[in-house]
Structure 1
Amino acid sequence: MSTMRKTLLSTFLFYFVLFLSCLNVIAQQQNGNLTGVITDADGKPLSGVQVLVVNQTTGWTKATNTGGGGEYKFRLGTGAYRLSVLSPFTAAFDRGKAKEYGKFAYIICDETKKKCPALENILISAEAETKIDFSVGKLETEELITPNKNEPLGYTGIPSVESAPQMFDNRREVRDRWRIGFPEYDRYGDAGARGRDVPFTRNRWYDPYSQNVLKGDYPILGNDVFMILSAVSTSAIEFRRTPSPTSVSSQDPDSNNPFGRPESLSFNQTLQFSFEMFKGDSTFRPRDWAIKISPTFSVPNYLNARERGIVNIDPREGTNRTDMHASLEEAFGEVKLFDVNKNYDFVSIRAGIQPFVSDFRGFVYSDNNLGARLFGGFDNNKSQFNLAYFEQIEKDTNSGLNSLEKFRHQSVFIANFFRQDFFFKGYTVQASALFNNDRGGEFFYDSNGFLVRPTLVGTPRPHYVRAAYLGINGDGHIGILNLTHSYYYVFGRDEFNAIANQKTDIRAQMGAAELSIDRDYLRYRISGFFASGDKNPTDDRATGFDAIFDDPNFAGGQFSYWN
């Protein structure tokens, strides 16, 4: 096993243990006890009674049997719970003792108010004990009502929560709230003729517009653990003409043309499969934890050039190349550390190979790489922050995917802060600070034999680059005007600049702005971009702007001229 793989494995195990430790600490800090004694109508303790508690928020359930003295005990997380017993017994909570059950406790009774088989709103506090004693009797009525047989539309998978046992003869609790279905309904009675919609129609499992357990619409465990399976296929074909010099090893060495044949055709087929599992209650509440892994394959990466020395530095390799590569573009764990307040503001941590874009348009850093990220929000999510650290993995030469064979000896530190509705509703401002510590202290040749680091220009010599970026960005709209803008100032030190042949101080800047107005289905847009250059590249000041690892989505994104 290579040193790179051993390091990756050790890093993953470290963050995985940290992830489990955080879960354990959080669980230990938020647990309380629910205890009591169960008796029969004569006050004698009963053993072997199945006692059931249900979290009224999440639907999580737990059952236990009473001991020889009728005692029961639950270790529960903080929250509100419902207490009952299972068949063949039924609880008989005393309405006259409502205050003894708790300040907010609510007794559930039938229409006669004589049978009270459940107690709700039992509040469990951290490291506190709640004691509830009650009596039980034999269940007299048989089950008359069955759960809802209308299966939900779409592909629901296996039910993740069993329905509760029936306690009344005219109703029954259904705990799997995600799978309460609707009957098929043809509103106009014409089976959707003339292109009209048919609401609540049954769909196929492979229909992406239908609810599906495979894409996280239904839970797979309980009411709050979901799974997402996805696959993405990307096909890229590129034809280019790039001048290349001739030599004795050229495809046509007898040509008197100083340039060889410039045409080349490349094709790259990338397949990515993703598995994600997370625990969460709703779309607007942050996830409690999540894990995701995305194996990615380049099958194949093909290049056909008309000149030698293009696909490989060795001209004997010819003009064609077919390459395959497997990678991990995502492999991370995430856990919510704590809630900031009761409005779903939070602080979470994510560690592993993960995507990250440092600003709205990806001007300075945009990559999927190995790192750790602390993030969260406050003030009703109007303010958000990121603190991130990445230890860059080398990229595969031909596919551009993570190589998993070697670190790049480059560390990136990022901090940013967002504020929504900044002076204007719908406009978000972002302040960013980044530090690039590029310890490129070695010669690095890619898999095709070409020297890529240090750059083969001037006096190529391994050197260090340490640079800090300070930026202000904005995105949103001010009235009818859509606005995106960005400005960065970078300063630092290049230990040895190959062109200047000496140490250089880095002082550079860039700015970009895009204004647009929407009219019906049209968007009228104007974009401008500026980056400082270096009018004297041989002095000790480097004023030409360069990013860390950019992927700008600006003025056409990857299809624009300067990308």
Structure 2
Amino acid sequence: MTGASLLPIALMLAAQGQQTDTSAPPPPPEKMPDTAAEAPPPPETLEEPDTGLIEGRRRPGVTQRVLPDKVTADNPGAVRAPPPEAFPANQFPVPDRWRLIETLGLVKQDVLDPYHQSTYKGDRPLCLPTAEEQERREQAGLPKCRTPKFLGLDHEDWFFSINAASDTVVEPRSFPIPVGVQTTQRPDSNNVFGRPYSLVLSQTFIGGFSLTKGYTAFKPPEVEYRVSLAYNINYVRVPERRVLSVKPSKPPHRLDSFLGVQELFIDKHLRNTSDRYDFDSLRIGIQPFQSDFRGFLFNDQQLGIRLFGNRDNNRFQYNLAVFWRLEKDTNSGLNSVVQRPRNDLIFVANAYLQDMPVPSFTSQATVIYNMNREQDRIEVDDNGFPVRPALLGDLRGREYDVVYVGYNGDGHFGRLNLTVSAYGAFGQDRNSFFTSRKADIRAFFFAAEPSIDFDWIRVRLSGLYASGDRKPYNNVEGGFDAIFENPIFAGADTSYWIRQTIPFAGGGRAVAINGRNGVLADLRSSKEQGQSNFNNPGTVLLGAGADFDITPTTRLTLNANHLWFANTATLQALRVEGSIPKAIGYDLSAAATWRPKANQNLVFRLSGALLQPGDGFKDLFASSPRDHRFYSVLLNAILTY
């Protein structure tokens, strides 16, 4: 583009060099009109662009500096710059604007280098093996175009992108582990709980590709095909038997692997609705979806049909979707497409409005209907433990209809950042495992996380309330439960409570107090394979934390949370106890994240968390000594191409 822009000047200079008569002196330059005197003065309300300061704005914790007086240069003999019309760049077409920099020798493609432009990262369109293209490449001395013809690609602007990632987890941890019933790992293990220490090693390889037609920057693509597979291999070692397998003869360690389909969809652009490229699109297949800003209610990759788009220059966005839940592999949590999908449907309708109620804050209204029809179907996981129905109460199959009505907001009010989420769950459970009768579902949820930035430090507070069931034997279930939560809240997976699963020993078989990567105390058999349970004690959380961006590549995060059960009536009924305190305990965690390239290609994280049990936790999981602390250490390395 630079060479094309300088061509008129080069021609002018060449013409001047061919003149033969040099005796006459050049005419004096014409006097430029004094346009400064004719131009109207700028409005007083405009900010001087070169002062660098805006009235009333300052950096927190930094003294407002005083700039020196403005320096102006008065040079009446200077030559005014030529107008843009003197450089008619649009009259000089460029055959291939994507490969121009490589043609000029500025950038060379390297398939193994993720930091430079590459055809395989979607930076340049695919070449199509037409006769004209092959002839052009032969004349230019370029290799032949090898895009397969069976793909049936026509026209231009087809982009191909490969994505690959490696996720490594090393996780020493401790949590209350019950001893085996039929046999134990060690003789004389006559207590309810055994040794709490265990180790998890997990390696996941994710690979996929996308084929996209259309521009990839300023307007939505016309069509996209995407496939993403994940292969996981994991090793777990625990000190007790009948924890990893229902068979007591199995050893207390396990090596397992699984290949899951995490994405497999086609995204078709239906239409543009404005000159700002507001659009409507339809996506069909296995696709990621997050129902709110922090993943409290539904955050998963499921088989579905989704109609989405925007209006008013992207200020208004909407989603209309239906998802048919796939079965999950027990030990990896990946999608299993070789099993029959569940009789569980999710209908979603939500709308986002930016700058509501104030600029810089986005509001979302959502309605989600979960229709579960698994009453007559018994499901046993890969380790032999029943997951549907959960082994609680009368052990009978259940089905339910529940509608979630919610409001979510994310943004900031001035310097105060705020994320808020509120849901009400209403419906019917058939049947309650306490009464074997129909029960109405009426539960509530609220969470908020305000934060404020002080230069490179962000300080935040966290608060969460999920209602618990007060009367287990009536016809109302008041414990809030999500569909599939993956919350990014209160420390997320660096928190002990969110990271670890606590078995509900003595109150149910193969049932946990909470799920892995979940904040709710919902008494489910499995977050991945179990059903939602609205007979639960609920959760209350208050916490504080801080993020320290020490360098552009290093971040330190600290969190301290205090947790309670909202109501322990359900626990008392299942454990047949007269009273159980509400306090779960204090959850303290710290994490260090290092990104050596200051991007997401290499991310290393080391975190540690500690749970100081409260009276309620000690009552449920009494051990020797009763004030035993539980820990969780996580070493995570994510490499992305």
| TM-score of the aligned structures, taking structure 2 as reference length | 0.57
User: What are the within-5 Å matches in structure 2 for residues 162-241 of structure 1?
Assistant: 173-181=93-101, 204-221=110-127, 223-238=156-171, 239-241=173-175
Residue from 445, 462, 465 that aligns with 1:510: 445
Residue from 457, 463, 467 that aligns with 2:402: 467
Show structure 2 runs of 5+ residues with no match: 1-10, 12-90, 128-154, 499-641
Using the TM superposition, give the Cα deviation of residue 201 of structure 1 relative to its aligned residue in structure 2, in angstroms: 6.4
Q: What is the rounded CA distance, in whole Å, between the counterparts of 2:209 and 2:378 in structure 1?
A: 37
Structure with the bigger RCO (C-alpha within 8 Å, sep 6+) is: 2
Residue from 462, 474, 478 that aligns with 1:543: 478
Greater shift in the superposed pair: 356-365 or 303-312 = 303-312
Q: What is the rounded CA distance, in whole Å, between the counterparts of 2:495 and 2:181 in structure 1?
A: 34
| 1:194-230 per-position Cα deviation (integer Å, ceiling 9, x unaligned) | xxxxxx6667443322222211111114652111101
Q: What is the rounded CA distance, in whole Å, between the counterparts of 1:513 and 1:351 in structure 2?
A: 33
Determine the structure 2 residue equivalent to 1:412.
Answer: 346
Structure 1 residue identity aligned to 2:374: G
Whether contact under 8 Å (1:391, 1:411) holds in the other structure is yes
Determine the structure 1 residue equivalent to 2:424.
Answer: 489
Partner secondary structure for residue 438 of structure 2:
strand
Whether contact under 8 Å (1:223, 1:281) holds in the other structure is no
| 1:64-123 per-position Cα deviation (integer Å, ceiling 9, x unaligned) | xxxxxxxxxxxxxxxxxxxxxxxxxxxxxxxxxxxxxxxxxxxxxxx9xxxxxxxxxxxx
Determine the structure 1 residue equivalent to 2:315.
Answer: 382
Structure 1 residue identity aligned to 2:212: F
Residue from 281, 287, 294 that aligns with 2:215: 281
Determine the structure 1 residue equivalent to 2:151.
Answer: none
Whether contact under 8 Å (2:420, 2:448) holds in the other structure is yes
Whether contact under 8 Å (1:233, 1:271) holds in the other structure is yes
| 1:357-411 per-position Cα deviation (integer Å, ceiling 9, x unaligned) | 0011111001001011000011111101000110000110000001111212100
Do the aligned partners of residues 254 and 174 (structure 1) sit closer, same or farther apart at CA in structure 2, a change above 3 Å counting?
Answer: same
Using the TM superposition, give the Cα deviation of residue 524 of structure 1 relative to its aligned residue in structure 2, in angstroms: 1.3
Whether contact under 8 Å (2:182, 2:248) holds in the other structure is no
Structure 1 residue identity aligned to 2:213: K
Using the TM superposition, give the Cα deviation of residue 245 of structure 1 relative to its aligned residue in structure 2, in angstroms: 3.1
User: What are the within-5 Å matches in structure 2 for residues 44-443 of structure 1?
Assistant: 173-181=93-101, 204-221=110-127, 223-238=156-171, 239-298=173-232, 300-404=233-337, 405-441=339-375, 442-443=377-378
Using the TM superposition, give the Cα deviation of residue 557 of structure 1 relative to its aligned residue in structure 2, in angstroms: 1.6
Q: What is the rounded CA distance, in whole Å, between the counterparts of 2:201 and 2:306 in structure 1?
A: 35
Q: Does 1:534 align with 2:469?
A: yes
Do the aligned partners of residues 408 and 310 (structure 1) sit closer, same or farther apart at CA in structure 2, a change above 3 Å counting?
Answer: same
| TM-score of the aligned structures, taking structure 1 as reference length | 0.65
Q: What is the rounded CA distance, in whole Å, between the counterparts of 2:320 and 2:187 in structure 1?
A: 55
Q: What is the rounded CA distance, in whole Å, between the counterparts of 1:278 and 1:204 in structure 2?
A: 21
Q: Does 1:498 align with 2:404?
A: no
Q: What is the rounded CA distance, in whole Å, between the counterparts of 2:354 and 2:423 in structure 1?
A: 20
Structure 1 residue identity aligned to 2:214: G
Using the TM superposition, give the Cα deviation of residue 438 of structure 1 relative to its aligned residue in structure 2, in angstroms: 1.2
Whether contact under 8 Å (1:510, 1:545) holds in the other structure is yes
Equivalent residue pairs, number = 379
Show structure 1 runs of 5+ residues with no match: 1-110, 112-170, 186-199
Q: What is the rounded CA distance, in whole Å, between the counterparts of 1:304 and 1:492 in structure 2?
A: 41
Whether contact under 8 Å (2:238, 2:253) holds in the other structure is yes
Whether contact under 8 Å (1:177, 1:223) holds in the other structure is no
Using the TM superposition, give the Cα deviation of residue 440 of structure 1 relative to its aligned residue in structure 2, in angstroms: 1.5
Whether contact under 8 Å (2:101, 2:107) holds in the other structure is no
Using the TM superposition, give the Cα deviation of residue 310 of structure 1 relative to its aligned residue in structure 2, in angstroms: 1.1
Determine the structure 2 residue equivalent to 1:50.
Answer: none
| 1:404-432 per-position Cα deviation (integer Å, ceiling 9, x unaligned) | 11212100011110011113222110000
Greater shift in the superposed pair: 549-558 or 248-257 = 248-257
Q: What is the rounded CA distance, in whole Å, between the counterparts of 1:474 and 1:259 in structure 2?
A: 43
Do the aligned partners of residues 289 and 184 (structure 1) sit closer, same or farther apart at CA in structure 2, a change above 3 Å counting?
Answer: closer
Determine the structure 2 residue equivalent to 1:64.
Answer: none
Structure 2 residue identity aligned to 1:311: L
Do the aligned partners of residues 293 and 457 (structure 1) sit closer, same or farther apart at CA in structure 2, a change above 3 Å counting?
Answer: same
Structure number having the greater strand percentage: 1
Structure 2 residue identity aligned to 1:252: R
Q: What is the rounded CA distance, in whole Å, between the counterparts of 1:184 and 1:481 in structure 2?
A: 49
Greater shift in the superposed pair: 205-214 or 551-560 = 205-214
Whether contact under 8 Å (1:178, 1:223) holds in the other structure is no
Q: What is the rounded CA distance, in whole Å, between the counterparts of 2:264 and 2:121 in structure 1?
A: 18
Structure 2 residue identity aligned to 1:233: S
Greater shift in the superposed pair: 257-266 or 506-515 = 257-266
Structure 1 residue identity aligned to 2:306: R
Q: Percent identity?
A: 42
Q: What is the rounded CA distance, in whole Å, between the counterparts of 1:237 and 1:393 in structure 2?
A: 28
Q: What is the rounded CA distance, in whole Å, between the counterparts of 1:255 and 1:475 in structure 2?
A: 51
Q: What is the rounded CA distance, in whole Å, between the counterparts of 1:287 and 1:373 in structure 2?
A: 16
